[in-house]
Structures are given as C-alpha cells and as structure tokens.
Amino acid sequence: MGISGAIPPVIGEFSHLRSLDMSSNSISGAVPSSISNLTRLEYLVMYNNNHSGDIPPSIGNLTSLYDLHMSRNNLMGQIPTELSNLRRLAVLQLGYNQLRGVIPPSLATLTELVAPQHGPERRRGPDPGEHRGRYQHDALLNLSSNSLNGTIPASLCGLPNLQQLVLSDNALRGQIPPCFGNATSLGELDLSGNMLSGRIPSNIGSHGQLNYLCLQRNKLSGAIPPSLGQCGSLLLLDLSSNLLTGVIPWEVAGIAKITLNLSRNQLGDQSNIDVSNNSLAGDIPVSLINCTKLKHLNLSYNNFGGVVPSTGALVQFSFMSYLGNPRLCGQVVQKDCATHHQSKKFWVVLIIVCATMLSLVLMIVCTVCARKIQERPGAVWE
C-alpha cells in the first residue's frame, strides 16, 4: 500500500537532503510550505499521490532543484510565478492535476531545461520514470491534463534547449506561436486537446528536429505546411479532428521513408500519419507507397478522391483507413474505378447537355420576345 497520510511540516528540518522521492504512494493533503527550507534539494519527486491544495509559492526558494515532478495529483490553483526562480531546473512536470489560470510567461526564464539524458547532474538522482503512454520518457515541460486557459506564451520559444513541450488536454486558445518554427532544439510538441485556432505555422519543422507533432483535437484551419517534410525523423504526426483543408503535400507524404532509429523508445520501428476528420481533398499521394516504416494510416472522413494506391507500404491497410471519402475508388475501398469514372463522366456529359439545352431555350425565348416587341403598334426601331 505504501505511505499514506499527510507530509508532516517537520520535513523542513531535514535541511541536508539533496533528493526526496515520495512518488507512487497514497500521500494526501497539502504540500507543506516548510518544504521550501530544503534549500540543498536537487530532486523533488512527488508524482502519483493524492496531494491537494495549491503549489506553495515558496518552492521557488529551492534554487538548487534540477527536477520538480508533481504530476498525477489533485493540485489546484495557479502555477506559481515563483517557479521562474528555479534557474537550474532541467525537468518540470505538473501534468494531470487540476491547475487553472494561464501559463506564466516567466517560465521562459528556465533556460537550463535540457534533455534528461544529456544533463551532467541528471544521472546522479533518481529517475522518476513516469510513463506517458506513447512515449514513456520524461517530458521537459509537461503541463498536460489540467484546466489551463489563455494563450500559449510566445516567450516559451526563447528556451534555447527546450526539446519537449507537452501542453495537451487543457483549455488553451488562440494561435500556435509562429516562433515555434524557429525552435531549433524542439523534438516533441504536443498541443492536442485544446481549443487552438488559426493556421499551423508555415515554418514549423523547418529545422528538421521534430520527432513527435501532436495537434489533434483543436480548431486549426488552413493547409498542412510543406515544411514538415523536412522532418526526416518524424515518428508521429497527428493532425486529426481539426478544420484543415487542401491536399497532403508530397513533401509530407514522403517523410516516413527515412530509416528510423528508436533505440531509446518503446515504439518499435513505426511511423504514424493521422489526418482524419478534416476537409483535405485531392488525390492520395502516391509517394506514400515508399513509406516502408509506416504502421498506422488514418485518412478517414475527408474529401480525398481518385484511386487508392494498393502497392508498396499501403498494401497493409484496409478500407478502415479511408472511411468517409466517397470519391475514392479502387480495390481497397471496394469500389470499381471504371464504374466510378464512367459515372463521373456520365454526370459531366449530362451537365454539358443540360447547359446546352438551357442555352438553346433561352435563345428561343429571347428571339420570340424580340419579335413580339417589334410587332407592337407604335414600336420604334432604329
């Protein structure tokens, strides 16, 4: 069962502590403000408990912290701006709580955020090891699954070493800051499950560092940026459930043909493309047949048309990947293309014939009307 009950205020008397790991217990109650007396603390790991109340602003006094991990609790209130005092912080995880309010722009002062495996001091302390579903590794700035609102501070783009930003499942609004396209170190960007609108920045991925891009379940509109095609190591691209329009750029359709190295993940050799529930149109890019590492494809509920490629990497996918695209044809979707094209041709011919007949009728009507006017008594014609 582990440890239960509240953290006693006397914890603040252990001033020589450098690492404190209370994760995965049944500890409840508020985080005592006396914990701020542990000024030598480098690792404070409290995830997966029943902590409640606000995050004490006095935690900002723990200026030696490298790792602050308080995910999966019942913490409420706003994110204290005092956290910006933790200038040595390498990992900040506050996901899966009940935090509200805006993301403090002052978090951009945490310029020491670096990848856990690269930080010189990171190996000395305990690895919290929180498993985040798909990725199963630490996120550097994880504020996911809270009730945060407002916009995404553009100041976060100024974090020079930021490699993973996870703000999913909140109530964030506004546009994705265009400056994220200039973030040269960003490898994972998860903004899914918010209320973001506007276009995906046209330069996102232009530096080729992105491995994971999750923007699903928002209100994003416009076209898919071709710049994503420069991300040769992209492992997961999820743009589903938005308001995207246009075609899939050929640059993006070919990204998964790059050989992938996933030795430090638990995904296996796979790539995923999900652009379902949008308004994308045009043909399915033939270049997808070269995506030899593609393991998941979801193009359903769009306006794609033409023949579904059924060779190469696309052999493995069934009609389920193409649902809700009535203009598609081919063996996979069980619709004969000859009949489909004949039907299309029939309607084109029918429209032309109807338009021609309508034109003739209008000409006849105009001629008759002109003659009647001319035959009227007193009509004057020059």
- Residue 115 — left, alpha, or beta (φ > 0 → left; ψ -120 to 50 → alpha)? beta
- Cα–Cα nearest to 144, from 132, 134, 156: 132
Q: What is the pLDDT of residues 266-322, one digit of tens each?
A: 333 446 788 888 888 888 887 777 777 778 888 999 888 899 988 888 888 998 999
Same structural domain for residues 12 and 87? Answer: yes
Give the per-residue pLDDT at 136.
35
d(C-alpha 92, C-alpha 89), whole Å: 7
The pTM for the full model equals 0.74
Q: What is the pLDDT of residues 87-136, one digit of tens each?
A: 998 899 999 999 999 999 999 888 776 544 433 333 333 333 333 333 33
d(C-alpha 170, C-alpha 95), whole Å: 10
Same structural domain for residues 246 and 346? Answer: no
Same structural domain for residues 324 and 347? Answer: no
Q: Is the pLDDT of residue 167 over 50?
A: yes
Same structural domain for residues 309 and 370? Answer: no
Same structural domain for residues 345 and 334? Answer: no
Same structural domain for residues 247 and 129? Answer: yes
> Using alpha carbons only, what angle is made at residue 40 by residues 36 and 45, rounded to the nearest 5 degrees?
65
- Cα–Cα nearest to 286, from 330, 348, 326, 242: 330
Give the per-residue pLDDT at 177.
94
- Residue 71's domain comprises 4-338
Give the per-residue pLDDT at 134.
34
Length of the chain: 382
Total tally of structural domains belonging to the chain: 2
Same structural domain for residues 30 and 8? Answer: yes
Going from the C-alpha of 260 to that of each of 162, 269, 293, 294, 317, the distances in angstroms are 22, 7, 8, 11, 20
Tokens 């004057």, residue located: 380
Query: What does pLDDT average to over the chain?
Result: 81
Q: Assign residue 46 the CATH number of its domain.
A: 3.80.10.10
Same structural domain for residues 306 and 370? Answer: no
Q: What average pLDDT does the segment 138-148 reach?
A: 84
- Cα–Cα nearest to 78, from 9, 146, 173, 7: 146
Asked, for residue 382, whether it belongs to a domain, the answer is: no
